[in-house]
Structure 1
Amino acid sequence: MSSNDLVSLGELEYARRAISSGTSVDALVDRFLAAVADPALRTRDFDAGQAMVVVSEILEDAGRLDEALAVLRRADAEGIRGEYLDPAVWVPPMLHRLGRYEEAAAAFRELVKAGRADWTAYEVYAEQLEIGNDLAGALKILLSGQDRLLRQGHRRGAEILAVPLSRVQRAMGLPVDEPVDQDDWEEWDDEPDVREIFTGGVLHWPQADFGRLLTRWPGLAERIGADWDEHRTRTEKASAAFTARGIPAVLCHADYASFTAFAPDIVDEPPKETLDGYINQLHRQGATTRWPPERNARCWCGSGRKYKQCCRPRGFTA
């Protein structure tokens, strides 16, 4: 691989599609691991921690769970963490899938002891226990997670865990602690001002269209993000902020061709009124999706990955 053969975050997330079209698993894994090791082989948006998680998923999809675990443990040993994902969080559920239950529990306890167990760590490990029909274990993990997060002042994380907790309680025939209504969430200190981003919905631009849009109107970067990765984070956070205020979030699926047809005479940066009008058109055309997806559904951004491992963490941890 030459220094001109750069790896991007978008390429990483579409890796599964490359495999389905005949690309070698080993070739893809080697390509991404090389970019993790050498910054000269990656574009600016490449996230080494996320890369290690996705590489482990590629190997797991190929039935190579031991290698997938080795990738996660290598990331942990070398201190490779992503902006939104800590590869070590995925070690306990991977060990559990391998049938190494005591090791999985020990690895999870180590995460908690080291202060690295955020809401994601509790959720994904409890989910794996739930899949393995260890409902009592899942219940214990979720209850302890809620308690610890509340004591640490992370109310939002505790509220997120209320959803899987109520599901496990129902499955066990126990009285259900209903999830906290998102209308009652506290204001997010770092939430974007939704009204300043878009009014009446949240515009999502696919990666290729996003690039064309900023090439023509670079000033839009202040409103929709400087790159597609930032755009996805803003989209997720704006949707979450709408929901937290009791407003149903709706993703409006934009594209460059329909937007330029909607506003053919725009020369300078499109004003907010034009973008709002475009949102209304997308609503009328039904080019919208209610937010959020289910945790295990494919992510709304089109990456092909599960929502819980892709854009969902961006809204809560960005």
Structure 2
Amino acid sequence: MPRKAELTSADLNDIRQSALGAADPLGVAADLAGAVESGRLADPRDAGLALTLAAEIAESRTKLDAALRYVERALEAYEKRDDSQVAAARALRARILFRVGRESEAIAELEPLRPLLTEYPDAAAYITSALVVAGRGREAEQWLTEAVQRALAERGAAEPASADDAGLLFFLLQQRHRLRHALGLPHDTHDNLAERLESKLAGATARTAEPAGDLLFWSQAEFGRMVARWPALTEAYGATWDEHRARLESELFRLTGAGRTDLALLPGSVTGLAAHAGTDGDPASAESRAGYANRLAAGTAKIGWPPERNAACWCGSGLKYKKCCLPRSRG
């Protein structure tokens, strides 16, 4: 990733989406910190955000000492601000503290954030993931349950008519529902509400939305067939199979950081996509690919992620995960 003379807020957003798949993500993190030090941010108020992003990148590469330094500098840069970015940075610091074995400090950082679950959806994902990383999944579920109950009480008795109408409540319900699924807990009324709202949202967007991150996975052989038949799809899936795998690994890790715990890859095939599109459809269109991904997601032929470090890699290369796709995004 080339070094820019000045980093805008849009640049920071682009880096957040692409840094983990970069050739040298730690170099990207160092450049972000350097941009803060040298005044290369177009908006100096982005200093805390840039340093938080550097911390996330370093954490993803298991450079935890560097990650902790970056996030503590981020909190210093935020000074007296009190908003979702600050809460997210504090939860990130707690997550890193858990990972380096400083549990009491991590809990002390997290506890004051507990009431903020109903205020800041971005921070809610970080708070939840911090507890999950620490093996405190049931505690995270309890915190989210309390937050859902508060949000429902604030709305009154009426059930939301749509995901948009539910707002923050929908986000909390999703977080809780996915976590409970990962913990093997039975459905309750809140889970049922989450599924109803998700169904309404899917119905409203099925014809226009492309899957976030598009977790369709093309094996090496299918990737070659796909590119030969629809060359334009290299823009969506990567120019090479290596790039395709790196994009997927980076997206999966990003979703994990956002609190997702039920992740899986959807193995696609040229024949399957063409059959889904039918004779009148365009298999390469975003609509066809989204529909195909949704169909695969509803089936059982999925590849769970992540595998154990010493287990066979999810991509089917035959190599161990730690020697294959894991280093593509986090080392």
TM-score of the superposition, structure 1-length normalised?
0.48
- Give the number of the structure whose residues are more often helix, by fraction: 2
